[in-house]
């Protein structure tokens, strides 16, 4: 089994499947990933579990912030599954549970200072991932790759909760579909990608990836093995208005577009984030 583990891409160890619960009632599935809060090279970083605001809150990120559950249930804890090398070099999958709120209803998870307007959320796991195969995306994907429209990207997640091997994520291919350095009012540092995504991929990290050489930000061509750069956090498909000829529910899939919040928004959350809304309260 150890030889198999060595053949897994290090970025696959950054991503975990999430299951959201209201007490013992399963509500939904999503994707999460690990991010390191690096202060300096000499300090051991805290590990953050990142996903979307709508995943942790159980509400739509856009007003009126309705519950995503048909019966109005709001999640109060989550489970993620992660690999660990056990005694004798066997590899096992461990379930880890995280409470989203304290006994007083105060949230343990953090949101961006712009609250639901930036659909990202994170829980500080501290140093609690020692011994697990938990890599951090900003450590594994940090090449200075140039970000251009049309660049290849991969969305690492669990479409409809699916995984093929040892809970490692599915790598869904896409490309950057909007000008990545141009903003309009209300975009909140979002990039549009052209990709086939499905439910369960909310909270997926989006990665720039090449096989050998890549073009750096300064225009230089650099050699590397599987160079990667963390682009941002996948959140959702655009809410497009139906046309008179559309079939109910199919417009979003015809466009095959999705929103990605740039990585800088996540850095802001980790450094300056605020607590999410109290349990049961609207943001």
Which residue's structure tokens are 């399963």? 26
Whether the pLDDT of residue 63 is over 80: the answer is: yes
Q: Which distant-in-sequence residues (6+ apart) come within 8 Å of 3 by Cβ?
A: none
| pLDDT value for 246 | 55
Domain boundaries, the chain: 2-275
47 vs 239, residue with greater confidence: 47
Give per-residue pLDDT as tens, 74-108: 999 999 999 987 666 677 899 999 999 999 999 99
Whether the pLDDT of residue 36 is over 80: the answer is: yes
Query: What's the mean pLDDT when you consider all of the chain?
Result: 91
**Total-model pTM:** 0.92
Give per-residue pLDDT as tens, 137-177: 999 999 999 999 999 999 999 999 999 988 999 999 999 99
How would residue 45 be classed by pLDDT, with cut points 50, 70 and 90? confident
What is the mean predicted confidence (pLDDT) over 18-37?
Answer: 97
Distance (Å, rounded) from C-alpha 70 to C-alpha 175? Answer: 33
Distance (Å, rounded) from C-alpha 237 to C-alpha 257? Answer: 6
2-275 CATH choice from 2.40.10.10, 3.40.50.720, 2.30.110.10, 1.10.10.60: 2.40.10.10
Whether the pLDDT of residue 242 is over 90: the answer is: no
Order of strands, sheet of 25-37, starting from the edge strand that comes earlier in the sequence:
91-99, 77-85, 15-22, 25-37, 46-51, 121-126, 110-111, 274-275
């Amino acid at each position: 089994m150890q030889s198999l583990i060595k053949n897994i891409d290090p970025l696959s160890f950054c991503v975990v499947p999430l299951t959201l619960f209201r007490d013992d009632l399963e509500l939904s599935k999503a994707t999460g990933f690990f991010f390191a809060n690096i202060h300096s090279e000499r300090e051991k970083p805290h590990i953050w579990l990142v996903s979307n605001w709508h995943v942790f809150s159980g509400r739509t990120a856009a007003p009126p912030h309705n519950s995503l559950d048909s019966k109005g249930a709001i999640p109060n804890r989550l489970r993620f599954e992660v690999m660990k090398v056990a005694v004798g070099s066997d590899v096992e999958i461990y379930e880890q549970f995280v409470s989203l709120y304290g006994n007083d209803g105060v949230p343990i998870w953090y949101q961006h200072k712009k609250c639901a307007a930036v659909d990202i959320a994170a829980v500080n796991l501290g140093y609690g991932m020692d011994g697990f195969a938990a890599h951090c995306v900003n450590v594994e994907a940090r090449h200075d790759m140039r970000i251009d429209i049309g660049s290849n990207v991969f969305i690492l997640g669990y479409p409809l909760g699916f995984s093929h091997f040892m809970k490692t994520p599915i790598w869904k291919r896409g490309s950057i579909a909007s000008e990545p350095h141009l903003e309009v009012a209300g975009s909140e540092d979002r990039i549009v990608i052209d990709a086939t995504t499905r439910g369960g991929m909310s909270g997926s990290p989006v990665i720039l990836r090449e096989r050998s050489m890549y073009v750096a930000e300064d225009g230089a061509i650099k050699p590397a093995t599987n160079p990667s750069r963390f682009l941002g956090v996948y959140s959702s498909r655009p809410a497009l208005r139906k046309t008179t000829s559309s079939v109910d529910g199919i417009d979003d899939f015809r466009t095959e577009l999705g929103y990605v919040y740039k990585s800088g928004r996540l850095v802001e959350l980790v450094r300056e984030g605020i607590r999410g809304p109290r349990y049961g309260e609207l943001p």
